[in-house]
Amino acid sequence: MRRRELLVGSGTAAAVALSGYAGAVADDAADASQSGLSSDLETLLELFPAESALDTTYRRLQYVRLGETDGSEFEYLTRQISEHAAEIDGEFDLDAVSAAASVIAGDGDFGLSAASGSFDRLTSDDAVERGDWRIGPLNSDAAFASADGRLVVVSVSERDPTDVAETVVDAATGETDSVLVDPEATAPVFERLEDSNYVVFLPNLDEARHLEFTDEVASLAVGFDQPRETDSETVESEYVFEPASDAAVDDDWITERLEGFEQGEVVETTVIQEGAFVHVDAVIDQPPERDRDAAPDARIRVRSHADDGLATIEHVDGESVETADLEVWVDGELADVQLADDRDSFSEGDTVELETGPIADVGLRWIDESEDVYYYYDRTLVGSESFESTYDAETETAEITYVGELAADPDRLEVVHRKSDEYRSDRRPDTDRSAVTDVSGSLTRGDTITVDDVTHGDRVSLELTAPPNPNHGQQPLAHVAVRPPRLSLRRHEGTLIVRYHDEREHDADDFRLLFDDEPADVQFADRTDTLSSGTELEFGEVPHGTTVAVEWLEPDEPAVIEERVLRPDAHVDITYDDEDGRAVVDYKQGEEIPADDLELRINTEPAARQPADEYETFAPGDDISTAVGPFAAVKLVWTGPEDTEDVLGRTFVGRGSFDATYDPDAQTVELVYTGEQPADPSALSIDYTSGDRSRSDDRKDLEHFSREYDTLTAGDSVVIDDVAPDDRITVMLVQKGDNFTSSRSIYYFTPVPRRVFTFEDRADGLVAVYRGEDDRDAEAFEFRVDGAPSDVQPADRYDTLTTDDEIELGRFDVGTEVTVEWVAPDDPYEISDHVVLPDADFDIEYDAEEETVTVEHAGGDEIDAADLGVVVEPSGLEPRGWEDQETVSKGDTTTIDVDSDREPNMVAIVFSERQTISRALIDE
């Protein structure tokens, strides 16, 4: 299945383009608690902590509403979730996911993937409980956090991933700010794009080198209803631009920005300027689509020979290609010399020399105008080997030295200095673009371009002034990134562990370890001579509450590059006894903690009973209980020095204390309170969200419960009228303070039972498992096998379906599709589907020299070749391979060219273009 590219450059490159944002956004950056987002979208985004909470910079945030789109189109967004979920105890089916989101942060080595839907909480042997959440490690670089209906996977190489997962839970439970607060543009951007099923949000464009207008736009988001498919020559998209403070915004400015962003032709726009943002609805005539499979199967290389002023184009192997379909592009224009000038075809062994001069951007593109598809066989940046870059920390200067043999024109170059002082309070980068003024006349060997005032966090690049070639972004000829060395601190069983992450080696004497602002007795140099990537050093037992800092001594003024207050090692479980109306804090395991350092809170206020009332030290085996009514947050907080707080355990009382039933004939929903304790209904609101995007009758009723009851008791109910099957009802807890209003979703219900069945391939055959939280009439569901009613139906086994009920369906051939329909309304809804997957092993080998990936079927089921594909990341997301075979069985192989300047890092074997059946990581 082919997929339109979303951003300038390849789809993969665009997906990881881009850095975080921390600028002011006027009054539009409303507090997230007052955002106009739907509760389901807000609940998902609240799983991502604020940039400030993680001390990082978000580069790209993507969101997809899977229930409204073809989930297979966005499998790459959920792949990390589904693959890691297999390592966690508990049942998880991607079909149960209703929405997913992902964040790339830092230098691309920090990622969060989140999913929400109708699945149960997952756990592991090493997981700890924090109220409704479980947090656990997956490996040294990954961890997870899971609650009912929510799962977050952390992938990070520079710090303890479990610590990051703890911060995720802090954000999810309101203990720290979420991404809806920081970057400040997040909430207003998603409010404007909430009708879009797929959103790509770039919080900061200063480092998006493939875009031409980064100096004038602070952030950008684009929303789509569906993936950009080849069967539509035009698409409608929404854009939200946040102009820079000095941008002169008018119609021409908007058109220029869109044309700089979109590869297609902008034929129609509707523009609304709202405060600090520009919201644009645009109709775009789509450009040709990248389609590797449509192009002849050939491997053609374009290589730079800058010292000779040449680029060579060589057909390495594979099919001959008609030269009438090949285009040579140089610096954004068709080259004067084309392959079709002197030959009809380009075949294995053919080589062409192209005169380019010492600096040029060269690409060879195949294009089929009748089918509106293209493919770049290769591209190169002539001259990228002709520059050497250095940085002098003492003088704060970056130097780019030309080492090429041929004289170059400096007017074809510009210096881009992206300033990002991570110690500044606003953390917002500035970008300076300037001509090369260090040389007069031609740029010759030994000439040096000097950039002053380059401090830690800055990036300097040397770029072409010429526009990029079609369908590709601009790449730098030379690049200098200046940043402090990277390391992380963690405390494990009382021992302080420092891990060094930076690629550059440093002398251990360049660092100083501080405990509570005083040099530690044992320093880095006492443990090692040199720090290199992956080095871990232990510094013995260090008490919790100690402020640990690492100073980097190389700059003139030593800089603190990592600092944290060590939290206690503690596993605290808080449970709620609905019958007695009491929350019980049970200290499961950890170290003794002075009771005076602990505070038990109900919402934001101290509870009447505190640990210090009963204990001098709070230790494993101790417990304390407190009376608490429904709809309250209970947490045990450790208070440390420097106003440090850490939540050791928490729960929310009353979440899920409702049941709902739907009458499809009357189109009514009855909400029933199921809690044992009396509850105040005045703080409850019912949010009604229409599932029909063409309707604008979303509504909120702040008094639905309180009109009926002064106090809620078990069995009390309210009826909501005019509810369509695909609408959504959410019970919200609304709390008002002196300066804020916050809301929390505590129950939601959709009449359509979305993805409430999961399927498990077991030894005895396929088993359907009901995962819905609400009981449902079994006769309301029908199983279908390849479109025909199944021999086994839910009503054959049950009258009413409850959570974890199982139905054995029998054995089916590989590729059989089993679907579930909800047949209660007149027009049935397909709510789940499952394809029976093959059981096969594959061997995967990457040849860096030949730039190929070879996949071999190593045993197991024979598979139809048309159903099998290989995805090589990051070079592409489209399955390829085995085009010339009917079936694939043991011993069969396929070899795939790596179509990217970046080495692959993962290979996945997919079945029916949507299900990953095998994967392998490639060590770089």
pLDDT mean over 702-731: 88
Look at residue 67 in the predicted model and tell me its pLDDT. Answer: 56
Last residue of a domain, one of 319, 348, 382: 382
pLDDT mean over 895-915: 73
Question: Does the N-terminal peptide bond of residue 874 adopt cis geometry, omega within 30 degrees of 0?
Answer: yes
Res 761 pLDDT > 50:
yes
Helix (H, G, I), strand (E, B) or coil at 307: helix
Diameter of the chain measured on Cα atoms: 92
The predicted-structure confidence for 819-830, as pLDDT tens digits, reads as follows 999 999 888 988
Asked if 636 and 669 sit in the same domain, the reply is no
Asked if 43 and 170 sit in the same domain, the reply is yes
* Better pLDDT: 315 or 756: 315
Look at residue 455 in the predicted model and tell me its pLDDT. Answer: 81
Last residue of a domain, one of 836, 867, 890: 836
Question: Percentage of the chain surpassing pLDDT 90?
Answer: 30
The predicted-structure confidence for 785-798, as pLDDT tens digits, reads as follows 999 999 999 999 99
Q: Tell me the helix, strand and coil percentages in the chain, rounded to 5.
A: 15, 45, 40
Look at residue 512 in the predicted model and tell me its pLDDT. Answer: 95
Asked if 443 and 323 sit in the same domain, the reply is no
- Of these ranges, 32-41, 340-349, 475-484, the one predicted with the greatest mean pLDDT is 340-349
Asked if 50 and 143 sit in the same domain, the reply is yes
pLDDT mean over 782-811: 93
Secondary structure, 3-state, 504-571: CCEEHHHEEEEECCEECCCCHHHHCCEECCCCEEEEEECCCCCEEEEEECCCCCCEEEEEEECCCCEE
Confidence of residue 260 (pLDDT cuts 50, 70, 90): low
* Better pLDDT: 558 or 702: 558
Last residue of a domain, one of 733, 749, 765: 749
Confidence of residue 850 (pLDDT cuts 50, 70, 90): confident
Specify if 464 maps to a domain.
yes
Res 612 pLDDT > 60:
yes
**Nearest Cα to Cα of residue 867 among 848, 906, 905, 840:** 840
- Of these ranges, 169-173, 332-336, 475-479, the one predicted with the greatest mean pLDDT is 332-336
Look at residue 694 in the predicted model and tell me its pLDDT. Answer: 44
Specify if 549 maps to a domain.
yes
Min mean pLDDT across 438-452, 500-514, 905-919 is at 905-919
Look at residue 717 in the predicted model and tell me its pLDDT. Answer: 94
Mean pLDDT rounded to a whole number for the chain: 80
How does strand 289-290 pair with strand 373-382?
parallel
Contact 278, 254 (CB under 8 A): yes
Specify if 476 maps to a domain.
yes
Confidence of residue 622 (pLDDT cuts 50, 70, 90): very high
Structural domain that includes position 686: 658-693+701-749
Look at residue 263 in the predicted model and tell me its pLDDT. Answer: 61
pLDDT mean over 337-355: 93
The predicted-structure confidence for 357-380, as pLDDT tens digits, reads as follows 999 999 999 998 887 788 999 889
pLDDT mean over 797-816: 91
pLDDT mean over 798-809: 93
Specify if 127 maps to a domain.
yes
Asked if 421 and 495 sit in the same domain, the reply is no
Question: Percentage of the chain surpassing pLDDT 70?
Answer: 81
Look at residue 262 in the predicted model and tell me its pLDDT. Answer: 63
The predicted-structure confidence for 627-681, as pLDDT tens digits, reads as follows 999 988 898 999 988 788 888 887 888 877 898 999 998 999 999 999 999 999 9
The predicted-structure confidence for 541-554, as pLDDT tens digits, reads as follows 999 999 999 998 87
pLDDT mean over 525-545: 91
pLDDT mean over 115-134: 77
Asked if 270 and 298 sit in the same domain, the reply is no
Q: In what order do the strands lie in the sheet with 478-481?
A: 430-435, 413-419, 459-464, 478-481
**Nearest Cα to Cα of residue 556 among 455, 486, 419:** 455
**Nearest Cα to Cα of residue 58 among 224, 209, 184:** 184
Asked if 66 and 171 sit in the same domain, the reply is yes
Res 13 pLDDT > 50:
no
pLDDT mean over 319-337: 93
Confidence of residue 731 (pLDDT cuts 50, 70, 90): confident
Look at residue 90 in the predicted model and tell me its pLDDT. Answer: 54
The predicted-structure confidence for 26-65, as pLDDT tens digits, reads as follows 233 333 334 446 666 777 888 988 887 787 888 888 888 7
Res 900 pLDDT > 70:
no
Look at residue 34 in the predicted model and tell me its pLDDT. Answer: 40
Sequence-distant (≥ 6) Cβ neighbours of residue 851 within 8 angstroms: 897, 898
Asked if 43 and 73 sit in the same domain, the reply is yes
Specify if 646 maps to a domain.
yes
Q: In what order do the strands lie in the sheet with 893-897?
A: 840-847, 852-860, 893-897
The predicted-structure confidence for 94-119, as pLDDT tens digits, reads as follows 666 778 888 888 766 688 888 887 77
Specify if 192 maps to a domain.
no
Res 764 pLDDT > 50:
yes
Res 692 pLDDT > 60:
no
**Nearest Cα to Cα of residue 102 among 170, 181, 47:** 47
Confidence of residue 516 (pLDDT cuts 50, 70, 90): very high
Specify if 110 maps to a domain.
yes
User: Using CA atoms, how far apart are residues 223 and 852, in angstroms rounded to an integer?
Assistant: 35
Asked if 546 and 581 sit in the same domain, the reply is no
Residue with tokens 């694939």: 888
pLDDT mean over 757-777: 86
Asked if 341 and 433 sit in the same domain, the reply is no
Look at residue 881 in the predicted model and tell me its pLDDT. Answer: 78
Give the burial string for 767-785 (b: 16+ CB within 10 Å, else e): ebbbbbbbebebebbbbbb
Asked if 55 and 152 sit in the same domain, the reply is yes
Number of domains in the chain: 9
Specify if 15 maps to a domain.
no
User: Using CA atoms, how far apart are residues 701 and 718, in angstroms rounded to an integer?
Assistant: 12
Confidence of residue 875 (pLDDT cuts 50, 70, 90): low
Contact 594, 432 (CB under 8 A): no
Look at residue 677 in the predicted model and tell me its pLDDT. Answer: 94
Specify the CATH number for the domain of residue 682. 2.60.40
User: Using CA atoms, how far apart are residues 189 and 185, in angstroms rounded to an integer?
Assistant: 6
Asked if 717 and 788 sit in the same domain, the reply is no
Q: Sort 891 into a burial class: Cβ within 10 Å, 0-12 / 13-18 / 19+.
A: exposed
**How many alpha carbons lie under 13 Å from residue 329 in its C-beta half-sphere?**
24
* Better pLDDT: 741 or 469: 469
